[in-house]
Amino acid sequence: MEMQMEMSYVFAVVITGLVVVFLGLVLLIAFISIIGKIFTAVDAKKKNKSAAAPAPKAVQAPAAAAAPVAAADDDEIIAVISAAVAMMGAADGKSYRVKSVKAAPGAASRSAWAMAGLKETTNPF
């Protein structure tokens, strides 16, 4: 019960299969290229809209934030923050000054140790 196939039939099946596969790949490449050009055009429109919007003013003096501490330590902490800001300004060749020092929002909800533990345990590998 052996069935013999003609070689011309085998070649026709192989060639047809290869043509179908490569035609499918060419169509897939064309589809992906068209989608890429569409997304590039949409991104360019978004960039043009954002470029047309006026740029916000540059901040001259960054406001430093400190956690609430005892009244006796406030002067020392403000001095340390001011020194750090002055060093940053000296490195940039600019002159910064501290206008106010106030606690960061939500800083009182957790201690520094709790925040460090939270950060360590939630970082990805």
- In tens, the pLDDT along 91-115 reads 888 888 888 877 777 666 778 888 8
Mean pLDDT of 71-75: 67
Tell the burial category of 58 from Cβ atoms under 10 Å away from its Cβ (0-12, 13-18, 19+): exposed
Which pLDDT does position 56 carry in this prediction?
A: 54
Mean pLDDT of 23-46: 94
Determine the structural domain holding residue 26 and report its residue range: 1-56
Mean pLDDT of 42-68: 65
How many structural domains is the chain composed of?
2
Would you say the pTM of this structure is higher than 0.75? no
Alpha helix stretches (DSSP H) within the chain: 7-52, 71-92, 112-122
Domain boundary among 14, 33, 56: 56
Q: Is 64 within a domain? A: no
Which pLDDT does position 123 carry in this prediction?
A: 83
